[in-house]
Each structure stands twice: as structure tokens, then as C-alpha cells.
Structure 1
Amino acid sequence: MSIFASTEQAMTTAYFSINNATVRFLNNTLFKNLTFRINKGQHWALIGPSGSGKSALLQTIAGRFNITGGEINYHFDEHLLSNLSPTNGISAKTKLIALVEPRHHFRNLSNTTDFYYQQRYNSSDSEDALTVDHYLASVNTVSENERQWDSDKVLTLLNLHYLRDKQLIKLSNGETKRLMLAAALLKNPALLLLDNPLTGLDVKTRQEFNGIINQIVASGISLIIATSVHEIPDAITHVAVLQEGAIIQENTRVDFNPELFNTVTQDQVDTAELGALLNIDNPTANYNYIVKMDKVHIQYGSKVILDDVDWEIKTGDHWALLGPNGAGKSTLLSLINGDNPQAYANNIVLFDKKRGTGESIWDIKKKIGFVSPELHQYFPTDNSCLQVIESGYYDTLGLFRPSNKQYAATALRWMKTLEIDQYARTLLKNIPASAQRLCLLARALIKNPSLLIFDEPCQGMDDHQQLHFKNLVDTLCSLSNVTLIYVTHYQHEIPDSVDKVLQLYQGRVV
């Protein structure tokens, strides 16, 4: 099949339609009078600012939300449905839809508990995890005679062969993204829904993404992708623009003008307020070495993760830590943040103290503000956003004590500075993913730490949020002597204040 519709009939045959629908989740109305139609042979991109409803529309199509008005119809070919039957409340038609979300839902090998943050660094617990091979073998597929995609084909397409024996918990963020797409393809869906699939992928994989998408749609799968206006794959035939829970524009790809949506040019940071926040309980310690590593070597079994890494970071340094997916960046950061017990077997100095000379993990964490894709993945979401940010004072994953009135007031000021104060009393799980990440960034900033570690902090943010956060980081660095380690796969995200670079490739400094 061509990646574009080959006949006029194909272009006018509905594949999915939703008409004048009201869509609800819990007590929230997500859409009113929602109408959206996909014809066979079409492939759609959904664009719009953070919170506009892109992810909600994908989940609506996947059958996740209640439709209380209007109607929703799936017009899949009858031969695809003939061998499928409803199970556990899942209709046969929605079984032909695969949704790849930003967060994974991996479970331990015992299938009794979910993964938890730090599990990957605890050898006995990390063994309680499926390997990539076992995970893909567990994916439920359609009947054998309808299979376009098998294990070998998806492993090759997504370059996962070398990861087959690796445990899920030990995958990098980008490797996890590729695995989730592989699992979705193994379901051999009629309709594939991708929610910001490029976040967390390195430059090489992003460059290959067009070719990957071309092969997917050439196999007969229809595609809907929520993405940035800057990263619309070539195979896309139509674009829908969302704003505040409504589709405000639909265009063919040919008629769509992305320049109309490059509107973010200016941004302001309240320098006086940021300066005041930085003066609250600000520690004055000035360390000779924030980090000093000498020939650090990390190995799991026969797999070398870090090989003879030397790194010196002094107070006030602003570093970018760069490298492709799987280069060892997350492991290197785990040694600094106190999460990796192999730090004790290496020559590492943190805040002028050699690891293993009596300091606790909490002594280290109280000096560090940290955020990463893994922390976002595993952070409990049943606290309000204000509670999540206040928990940064205690370095706990959530607030497990009565709220401190003064701390809560400071948390709200940080929320206003990051333009997310409207979510203060909302549960973290009920706000957009980009706003969740901003909450965790506020949590990292609230205690005015000596060291900030921002690991891919802008994942999922829209253009305005990215620009505002970048300006905030630069202003913060100009107003204080904070030390910064910044990780990203996007060159334009690196703050102007960053003036030093450490680049890793296959565990070595290059």
C-alpha cells in the first residue's frame, strides 16, 4: 500500500468517526461537541499547545473515556474483526487500536508490583524484571493469518536486537520508547496512535523516524500522531490543530502552513521574584569540588556501562552532559545523585567528601535538585501539585507529613514563576504531562540546592514552556552561584549559561 491514498474511494471511506460527542473522564468534561473523522488512507498529526487536548483525543479514540453524547464509530474491515471477540470489557474493535503513551506500564516479573524508582540500580530487585525478548513475547497479537509484523521484523525496524537480553528496568529512556513502539506494532493494529513519540530519542533515532513511519504506514496501518509542529513525519497527509479542548482547524498536509504556529518569540522572567525566591533559606556553602570522579568504572555482568570516566565539577560550573541513548548518561547521574550503590566501589568525591566516608544518601540529596524522565515515570501521582512541590524540601517522592504553611506558600510562588499555579490544588495525575514535568522542576528548585541536575527537563513542553524554562535557568544562573548539569538531545534547549560540555559514547568520554 502507498503511504498516501491510492484511489478516490479510499479517501472517502471512513475508518473512524466521532460525531457531536461529549467526552468525560471522572468529573471532568474533556470535549464538547467533538467531531473528528479519519478516512481510509489518511494519516493525521495533532498539534497544539500543552493542555490543548492532543493526548485526550488519542485516548478518546482508543476507547479510554466515556462518551456521554453523540457517537463514536470504528469502520474497520470485517475480515479484521472476524477472529476477534470482546474480553474484559474491551471491544473487538478497540483491540485493533494500539496507543503508545509517553509513560510505560511495565510490571515486575512476579507481576505483583509495578517498577519503582531506583530499582534499576539494586541488583536483586532489577532481576525481577522481564527482558526485552520476554516482554515482546507476552504481547497479544491478532490471529496468525493477519500478522504483518512479527518479533524479528520489529526488532530490526527499531534496532532492538542488541537489547533482547536486557531487563526492561535497565533500558534508557530512548530505548524504552523504541520498545513501546515495537510492542504496539506486534499487536498488528489497524490504527496506531502515537503520543509525542520523539521525546527522549537521540538525534540519530529522530532522523531515522521518518523512515520508520514510512514502513509502518506502508504495511497498511493508519496513523494518528500527537507531535510538535516542528516534527511532523513526511507520511502525514492531514493536520488537526487543537486548542483548549477543541479542534479549531483541519488541513491537508499540502495546505498546512507550519509558520503560522511558530509564534513564540518573546518571554519574560520576573527577575525580582526569582531573586527573592533564591534568597529563601539559601545555603552559603562554597565547595571546592561539587563532583570529582577518577576513572569511574560501572559494570553489570559482562556489560560495561561506564569505562574510566574522569569528571571534575566546581562550584558555579554550568555543564551540558550529552550523548546518544544508552551512552551511560543516566548511570553517571545516578552516581552523583546517590541512587547507585556502585558509587562506593569507585573513587568519587561529592561536595568535598569521598563517597563511603560516612555521609548518607540524604546528606547528598539535600544538596541536589534533580529531575529526570525516570523520576517523572515513577513519581507517585496522588498528591496535589502543591504537595508534590513541597515534598522537595524533604527529598521524598510525595508529601508524607502535614503541610508546612510557609513551605506551601513558597511552593505556590514557584508555581507562579513557572506559570503553573492554576494546578496548585489539582492532583498531579490529572494535569497535562508537560505541567507534571514543570511541577517536578519546581520541586527540584524549591530548596535552593547547590547543584541542579536537569535530565531532559523539557520533554513534552510546548514552545512557550521551553522558552520560558530556558530563560528561567539562565536568569537563575546569573543571580546565583548554583552549579548546573543539563542533559538534552536537542541543541536548541541548552541554556545560554552552559559553557562546559561532557560527551559520552558507549560509556566513554569522547
Structure 2
Amino acid sequence: MINIKNFQHDKLTIKNWQLSKAQSWCVLGKNGSGKQYLDQLMTGGLTDSTAQKCLLPSVDKVALVSFEKQQSIYEHELKIDRTDYLDVQDIGTKAKDFLPASKLDDPLIEAFGLAHRLEYGYRQLSTGESRKLLILQAIFNGVELLICDNPFDSLDESSCQALSKVLRDLCEQGITVLLLLSNRLDIPSWCRNIAFIERGQLEVIGLLESEETIRQLDALLDLEQDSLAWPDSNCRRENINSSYLVKLNRGKVSYNGENVFENLNVCIKPQQHTLITGPNGSGKSTLMHLITGDCTQCYSNDLEVLGFKRGSGESIWQLKKQMGIVSSELHRQYRVNAELLTVVVSGFYDSIGLYQQPERKHIEIAKQWLEKVGLLVHAHRLFQTLSYGEQRLALIARALVKSPYLLILDEPTQGLDELNRYRILNFIEHLAEQNHSTILLVSHRKDEHLSLFKQHIRM
């Protein structure tokens, strides 16, 4: 089905790689290793290359599901949004319209937990739900090669199990499944063949059950110790004079007559680091949007945030100057193609992009954080030219630059490789030790349930 020999491109090198029909493959690589160029090769987007042999399936028989594709569809949905010209909110393309009409009763939709979301617009779906929708679309369209880039990120445990079973069954039905992963723990047991990519060079490792394969992966993905000094924290703000950072009484949010949650009580005190878990669609991100003010129903709720009663005349910026935020929603919205350094500095001003001359000390602190997350070398590259994982690291640095009083992390490690996940979790533990920022973390991963969390909210 796929036979590549001595393939050479400025961004990608493959000596010898063969994928047969109905095989399962995993390509493991760190952030910025070149996995996105492998995407482009398989989908016909990589030109100016040479090869002794390069047999690929027809482009119309290949489907790619990635964060970048999800972002592209989201941006298209924003462009066609007609809310400003209508008397009601334009929800855009409905989830059911991504699927063949003849398949809307297929049991796979129920297995993926999307049966009740078919009438929702694409922009109303969570990151995990939109990814599952695109995978269903590919399956129903009869692809021969399905490429999934970190498909298990942002999915709850039951969704991961359901997706893993579907992908395994696809192989048994004759479809070749190629997983591009950043974490060894995400490799499913049924995925037999392993390759590794680093600096754009793909190397076939072997079979998953081979002890030699495991030893090679351990060596390639060794978690180095971070010896860099912690960035300057002299921009800390005064503590909030309030008993609670967040206090929500009988909270309720609903859309189109359907409740996301109701009768929800949340109290978070200073230094009461809080973990929030729950299945996809349970309202975790909606709760975060309620707290940040990005959900306008915050004004119809009995809600206090950072000492302000919502709806009492405070501005959203009075609150956000005390917050650091990392979320898929922010990542989706950060479409300004600015330099990476500008993106991180914008965290001091709570803006998407930078619209004023920054202070010199802010630039220096931003550089320190870029060095800490391993991106200083890319400081003057355009944000949109970085891989998804590198962009996520930059947005984490953006949230941390001002040492926020309330740090809201909605699945911050989504798209990150093992090393960078290790770094971010280390950052979180270090921040907790400083007794300044109070951390709210939304996560599906059990290995992120750190001992520092004093409260666990299950949605």
C-alpha cells in the first residue's frame, strides 16, 4: 500500500518504510520533530522532494485527523458565522452535516458518545468531540489510510477505550491505521509496528512487543533534567482580599434549552489547588468559561470571582489581569500570526496579539520563559509556523509570565510530548510551592492527578 525508499525533502527524510494494507503503525516523536511533515507527505502537500521509490495511496483515500485540521475547520466556521445579520445565534454547520445522511443511525455514533450532539454546531463541540466527529467522517467515507495525530488527547477514559476499539476494528476490516503520537503511554496494545521521528528523520524501530524496541524508545525519549533557573517573578500582584477566589451557588448553564450543568456549587479558597475531571461534554470547559467571563451566562449566576460579584459593574479585564489562562478555546482564538516572543509578552496585557509598546522587563521575563520551555531559539518565528505542541508550550509560557493569582489550566498538556508534559507538571508543582498562584486544572489523564491538589471536583 505504501512503499517509500530513500525519500529526501528539506523537512523530512525516510530511508525505507513499507506499510501494508490493514497494518497498524505508530510513529512516535517529540514536539517539533517533524510529524506534521509526515502528515503533508501522506496527504499530497509535500512538494519538491526526491525519492528512489514513493508509492502512496490516492489522496482521496487518505484521511487526516489532527489538531491543525480541527483548527482549520473552526476558523472556516468563524468566517461563515452570520450571527451579526440574524436575530438568533448562528451555530454554523451542524455536526450531523459532517456525516453521510445514510449513516446518521449508525451505532458507531452512539459508541462515540455523539448521538445527542448531532444537532449542535461544530463550534459548540468540545475539542475531543470534534475530533471524534472527524474520525467518524473518515470511517463513513471509506478511507484506505486513516492518520490520527494524537487522537487520545483530551478524551476521557471511556472515550479513549471506545476509540481504541474502533481503530483496532478498522485494521481488521482492511484499513491501514497510522497513529502519530507524542507519548509512549498512548500507544495501544494492538498497534504492532513502531517508528520514531526526530529532526525530520524517520527511523523504523520494530515490533512493539520486542524488548529491543522498548530499549530503543527508552533511549530516544530519555527525560532529561531541567537545570535552567526559574524565570523572574518580580511582577507578582498583591493578594486578593477575599475568603474565596471562586464561589458559585447553584450554578446553571444551558444552551438551546438543554442544561450543560445545573445546581452546581463550587468554592475555591486561596491556595486551594483544585482538580476538575469528568467525561467529555460534562461541562468542565464551560465552568472555566463561566469563571473567566467568556461565558456570558456568568452574569445570570450567583458567582463571585477574585472578590468581585459578577454583574456588579466590574469589567472582564479587571478579572483577567489577575488570571493566567491556557485552554483549547484560547488556542483556537489565537489566530494573530505574530512572532513567538510577541505572543508570550501579550500575556502581560491579556490580549491576543500586542497593541502597545511592551516594557523592557516584560520582554526579558518572556525570553526567560521561552528558554525555560525550550523555545527561545524560535523567539522570532511566526506563531502559526510552529507545530501544535510548540504553540501550546508558548501559550503556557504566556499564562505564566505575570505570575497570576489564579492560574486556569484547561487540559494544558494537550499535544505535548513526554518531555514537555514532564516539564509542565514540574512547573505546576513549583508554582504550588511558591504559595502565590492558585491552580485550577482540568485533566483527563490520571498521571496528572498531582498530590498538590487539595480539592477534586467531578463533573
Normalised TM-score (structure 2): 0.91
Q: Distance in 2 between matches of 1:51 and 1:196?
A: 14
Q: Which of 90, 95, 117 is residue 127 of structure 1 equivalent to?
A: 90
CA RMSD of aligned residues (A): 2.5
Q: Distance in 2 between matches of 1:239 and 1:412?
A: 36
3-state DSSP class of the match of 2:354?
A: coil
Q: Does 1:58 find its partner at 2:39?
A: yes
Match of 2:61 in 1: 96
Q: Does 1:165 find its partner at 2:124?
A: no
Match of 2:197 in 1: 242
Tell me the amino acid that sits aligned with residue 106 of structure 1. Answer: I
Q: How does 1:70-149 map to 2 (within 5 A)?
A: 70=51, 73-74=54-55, 76=57, 93-103=58-68, 104=70, 105-106=72-73, 113=79, 126-137=89-100
Tell me the amino acid that sits aligned with residue 357 of structure 1. Answer: S
Q: Which of 138, 144, 159 is residue 205 of structure 1 equivalent to?
A: 159
Match of 1:306 in 2: 261
Q: Distance in 2 between matches of 1:309 and 1:33?
A: 53
Give the stretch that moved more between structures: 261-270 or 183-192: 261-270
Q: Distance in 2 between matches of 1:300 and 1:67?
A: 49
Tell me the amino acid that sits aligned with residue 457 of structure 1. Answer: P
List per-residue Cα deviations over 1:299-330 (Å, max 9, x = no partner): 12321112111111111221101111111111
CA 1:125 to 1:407, structure 2 compared with 1: closer, same or farther past 3 Å? farther
Query: What is the CA-CA distance between 1:428 and the residue it aligns to?
Result: 1.3
Q: Distance in 1 between matches of 2:96 and 2:14?
A: 44
| Alpha-carbon contact 2:148-2:180 (below 8 Å) kept | yes
Query: What is the CA-CA distance between 1:67 and the residue it aligns to?
Result: 3.5
| Alpha-carbon contact 1:108-1:128 (below 8 Å) kept | no
Unaligned runs of at least 5 residues, structure 2: none
Q: How does 1:32-431 map to 2 (within 5 A)?
A: 32=13, 34-70=15-51, 73-74=54-55, 76=57, 93-103=58-68, 104=70, 105-106=72-73, 113=79, 126-137=89-100, 150-153=103-106, 154-227=108-181, 228-255=183-210, 257-258=213-214, 260-262=216-218, 264=222, 267-268=225-226, 270=228, 273-274=230-231, 277-431=232-386
Query: What is the CA-CA distance between 1:259 and the residue it aligns to?
Result: 5.1
| Alpha-carbon contact 1:106-1:114 (below 8 Å) kept | no
Q: Distance in 1 between matches of 2:454 and 2:226?
A: 23
| Alpha-carbon contact 1:229-1:258 (below 8 Å) kept | no
List per-residue Cα deviations over 1:355-386 (Å, max 9, x = no partner): 01110111111111001122212311511110
Tell me the amino acid that sits aligned with residue 65 of structure 2. Answer: V
Q: Distance in 1 between matches of 2:417 and 2:34?
A: 13
Tell me the amino acid that sits aligned with residue 132 of structure 1. Answer: A
Give the stretch that moved more between structures: 128-137 or 33-42: 33-42
Tell me the amino acid that sits aligned with residue 393 of structure 1. Answer: F
Tell me the amino acid that sits aligned with residue 386 of structure 1. Answer: L
CA 1:115 to 1:268, structure 2 compared with 1: closer, same or farther past 3 Å? farther
Tell me the amino acid that sits aligned with residue 431 of structure 2. Answer: L
Q: Distance in 1 between matches of 2:168 and 2:401?
A: 45
3-state DSSP class of the match of 2:303?
A: strand
Query: What is the CA-CA distance between 1:413 and the residue it aligns to?
Result: 0.9
Tell me the amino acid that sits aligned with residue 122 of structure 2. Answer: L
Q: Distance in 2 between matches of 1:208 and 1:298?
A: 28
Identity fraction in percent: 26
Q: Distance in 2 between matches of 1:184 and 1:115?
A: 25
State the aligned residue count: 450
Q: Distance in 2 between matches of 1:150 and 1:72?
A: 38
Q: Distance in 2 between matches of 1:286 and 1:418?
A: 33
Query: What is the CA-CA distance between 1:48 and the residue it aligns to?
Result: 2.3
Normalised TM-score (structure 1): 0.82
CA 1:17 to 1:400, structure 2 compared with 1: closer, same or farther past 3 Å? farther
Bigger CA radius of gyration:
1
Match of 1:7 in 2: none
Unaligned runs of at least 5 residues, structure 1: 1-14, 24-28, 77-92, 139-148, 505-510
3-state DSSP class of the match of 2:8?
A: strand
Match of 1:10 in 2: none
Give the stretch that moved more between structures: 322-331 or 127-136: 127-136
Match of 1:490 in 2: 445
List per-residue Cα deviations over 1:114-154 (Å, max 9, x = no partner): 679xx9xxx9775241211123249xxxxxxxxxx944334
Query: What is the CA-CA distance between 1:249 and the residue it aligns to?
Result: 3.3
Q: Distance in 2 between matches of 1:70 and 1:163?
A: 45
